[in-house]
Structure 1
């Protein structure tokens, strides 16, 4: 292990602690969580923000596991400096949302999504998980984070371009939200189909739970029930590869997630 590698791993630990301290308030906040304060017709229930708790626990496992030899190559070359970059961008994004700068925040969430996407695809393509520890502490946290940042980007987008009113959503607002829900569900399906027989179920489940949180928070009948329908499809679809395996068929579709 070179001095540069040691420095990189130390930097990962430092930014992780910074990340944890910067987001701990939003995790336990009884408001809208770290997706922002602005309420729209696609805003989810606050409980979905507790996904951050699991992400932080697994990322904490990553910054510890990176010091062990089996994780060295994946941590140094698979994740690289993008962990530091992603953490700093994500922290800036959360700060901008909390201060009411949704538009600039949306730019930062896209930058964060780009950085996390690089790690996600690089790990999937070049660093297969061969042990349970690699799956749990290297691949899983970035799969969760990627699914979460896709979901958050859509929520943030609606904070920028839409607003609520006392009379409830109009026809175009409903259509716009339903299209957003469809985009999220389609992206989750893309996770499952990505790389034959090795779809990323973790990211799909995060988006599925996010759709369920939209269902529990939105009371407009159209948005409410469409969110539930898309949530059911998204949460059930990951079982498809296992069903094909049981019946002796292969799924030949090979689609990438729509964002990243």
Structure 2
């Protein structure tokens, strides 16, 4: 058990407890506004997609234990550094701002909360992207535990932060879907957002050093948007656009997954034959 850098490891644990506070799980509570912001938009997904936090939290618990081992000390302490506590605090702030709304019908105060949440989410997305890039480039996975408890949670977080960034933007600048019908400008911006989400998911999946976990989260986010934005609520254009982009992104994820499996099988076969050919 590695007890050096004990203060840093303790800070990781304390920050994680802050991150997993009541605000972080606000999206899972019945009737919660978190994820939709001060008001639902025409990009708001079904609440089940926020269960992604539960998966991320479970893997992060493993990371906090893994940091006390010889194998986990370097990627967690040296790789993540103090960026992890900072990210936890930023995300907790975002959770509080995204769940805040006026008790009455003050559109001005709701806009302020949504705008602050959007700005904070920009910093969250930037922070998690920095961590994701650092561990992927400088601390490549060398074991299953590395993959599960260091790389996987931040791959999921990285992909989910893309979804949250779009949701926060539409909450701040989009129309209230409960009181306003989707006009042509709204439909155009929603279509562009869906297209960018699909392109990001496909890019993650099909890149040479792809991120299947992040791509899958975004793809499922598109499915959740499709389910929530029904024809009766959002109209056929938004509803079926979300469906089409979900299918395209899912095909990219499945294609990349099959390619990865085939590559591993080919590599394993080559290793088995190597001694015979020597």
Q: TM-score range by the shorter chain?
A: 0.7 to 0.9
Residue 6 in structure 1 maps to residue 17 in structure 2: no
Count matched residues.
Answer: 244
Rg (Cα) greater in structure: 2
Q: Give 1:204's aligned residue.
A: 215
On the 8 A contact 2:24/2:95 being kept in 1, the answer is no
Whole-angstrom CA distance in 2 between matches of 1:94 and 1:84: 15
User: TM-score, structure 2 length as denominator?
Assistant: 0.82
Gaps of 5+ in 1: 248-260
How far off is 1:177 after superposition?
A: 0.2
Q: Give 2:251's aligned residue.
A: 236
On the 8 A contact 2:220/2:246 being kept in 1, the answer is yes
**What do the CA deviations read for 1:87-134 (whole angstroms, capped 9, x no partner)?**
000100111112230101111101011110111001111111111111
Whole-angstrom CA distance in 1 between matches of 2:34 and 2:156: 15
**What do the CA deviations read for 1:147-204 (whole angstroms, capped 9, x no partner)?**
111100001000111113656211121111010000111111121233x2x3100000
Residue 153 in structure 1 maps to residue 165 in structure 2: yes
Q: Give 1:215's aligned residue.
A: 226
Q: Give 1:256's aligned residue.
A: none
Q: Give 1:89's aligned residue.
A: 90
How far off is 1:34 after superposition?
A: 3.4
Structure 1 residues 25, 32: closer, same or farther in 2, change over 3 A?
Answer: same
Structure 1 residues 71, 229: closer, same or farther in 2, change over 3 A?
Answer: same
How far off is 1:240 after superposition?
A: 2.6
On the 8 A contact 1:79/1:123 being kept in 2, the answer is yes
Q: Give 1:115's aligned residue.
A: 127
Whole-angstrom CA distance in 1 between matches of 2:6 and 2:121: 29
Gaps of 5+ in 2: 102-112, 264-278
SS across alignment from 1:56: helix
Q: Give 2:73's aligned residue.
A: 72
C-alpha root-mean-square deviation of aligned residues, in Å? 1.9
Structure 1 residues 199, 88: closer, same or farther in 2, change over 3 A?
Answer: same
Structure 1 residues 92, 117: closer, same or farther in 2, change over 3 A?
Answer: same
User: TM-score, structure 1 length as denominator?
Assistant: 0.88
